[in-house]
């Protein structure tokens, strides 16, 4: 079997201040035929510089880095290069880091304890427009959403767009950190049907990502998260 041409590969930039971790991750991803590591960065400033220079599809971003944090680097990259996906890969299980990363524009938040296969799968997933969050962090994200809702109780209430019962079911499963395949299996529908539901939800709410939709739904109390 011939090797897949490099131009067809997903271009990945690794931003982490630990050289050994960068090397290990590069070795793991080297075995993926559709992924190419195009560069590395050892701090937040260099992550922004290298992203501008290399134009990767995905940046694997650590949170705690010198000169500029991963969260600040994420925000800057998304401002300058909105098409680049940011996938946070970190040891930090702090709710604040999780929420601030998503708010800055990250498409996912993974803990470094995940398997190497999950890293490659998550890269492919965010490029396809999905959000990826480690299961251990999903409940913390919902806790932060609920706190945000309480802080905004004094806002002038607006009538939210009407979502169907099925769309709310799908959005509730998205809020649990489930991907399209898991949602399809749980609801006994096809993955294409799940994608259509999510597209309709985003159009109705006039939002751009699944994560924004979950934040909005919790804030507007469209979802009853226990």
CATH number at residue 58: 3.40.50.2300
Average pLDDT over residues 153-170: 73
Q: Which domain holds residue 204?
A: 141-219
The verdict on residue 1 lying in a domain is no
Q: Are 117 and 12 in the same domain?
A: yes
Task: Give the pLDDT confidence of 31-80 residue by residue, as tens digits.
Answer: 899 999 999 999 999 999 999 999 999 999 999 998 899 999 999 999 99
- Residue pair 52/78 in contact (Cβ under 8 Å)? The answer is no
The verdict on residue 166 lying in a domain is yes
Domain boundary among 90, 115, 133: 133
Give the torsion through C-alpha atoms of 77, 78, 79, 82, to 10 deg.
120
The verdict on residue 89 lying in a domain is yes
DSSP assignment of 121-169? HHHHHHHTT--EE-HHHHHHHHHHHHHHHHHTTTSPP-PPPP--HHHHH
The verdict on residue 38 lying in a domain is yes
Domain boundary among 133, 160, 178: 133
Residue 12: in which H helix or E strand, if any? strand 10-15
1 band by pLDDT with thresholds 50, 70 and 90: very low
CATH number at residue 179: 1.10.10.10
Which pLDDT score, from 0 to 100, does residue 102 have? 86
Q: Are 103 and 36 in the same domain?
A: yes
The verdict on residue 27 lying in a domain is yes
Domain boundary among 83, 103, 133: 133
Task: Give the pLDDT confidence of 87-117 residue by residue, as tens digits.
Answer: 999 998 888 888 889 889 999 899 998 888 8
Q: Are 39 and 123 in the same domain?
A: yes
The verdict on residue 205 lying in a domain is yes
DSSP strands (E only) in 23-147: 35-41, 58-61, 85-90, 108-111, 132-133
Higher pLDDT, 137 or 104: 104
List the structure tokens of 126.
Answer: 């965010």
**Residue given tokens 């492919």 in the structure block:** 124
C-alpha span between 34 and 11 (Å, rounded)? 9
Number of domains observed in the structure of the chain: 2
The verdict on residue 225 lying in a domain is no
């Amino acid at each position: 079997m011939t090797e897949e041409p490099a131009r067809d590969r997903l271009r990945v930039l690794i931003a982490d201040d630990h050289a050994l971790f960068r090397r290990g991750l590069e070795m793991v991803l080297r075995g993926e035929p559709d992924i190419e590591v195009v560069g590395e960065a050892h701090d937040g400033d260099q992550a922004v510089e290298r992203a501008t220079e290399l134009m990767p599809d995905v940046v694997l971003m650590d949170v705690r880095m010198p000169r500029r944090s991963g969260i600040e680097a994420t925000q800057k990259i998304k401002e300058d290069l909105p098409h680049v996906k940011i996938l946070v890969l970190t040891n930090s299980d702090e709710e604040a880091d999780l929420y601030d990363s998503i708010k800055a524009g990250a498409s996912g938040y993974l803990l470094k304890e995940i398997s190497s296969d999950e890293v490659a799968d998550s890269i492919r997933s965010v490029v396809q427009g999905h959000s990826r969050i480690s299961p251990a962090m999903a409940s913390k994200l919902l806790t932060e959403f609920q706190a945000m809702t309480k802080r905004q109780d004094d806002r002038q209430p607006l009538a939210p767009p009407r979502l169907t019962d099925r769309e709310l079911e799908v959005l509730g499963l998205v809020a649990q950190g489930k991907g399209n395949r898991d949602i399809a299996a749980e609801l006994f529908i096809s993955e294409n049907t799940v994608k259509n539901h999510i597209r309709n939800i985003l159009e109705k709410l006039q939002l751009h990502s699944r994560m924004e939709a979950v934040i909005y739904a919790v804030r507007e109390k469209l979802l009853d998260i226990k």
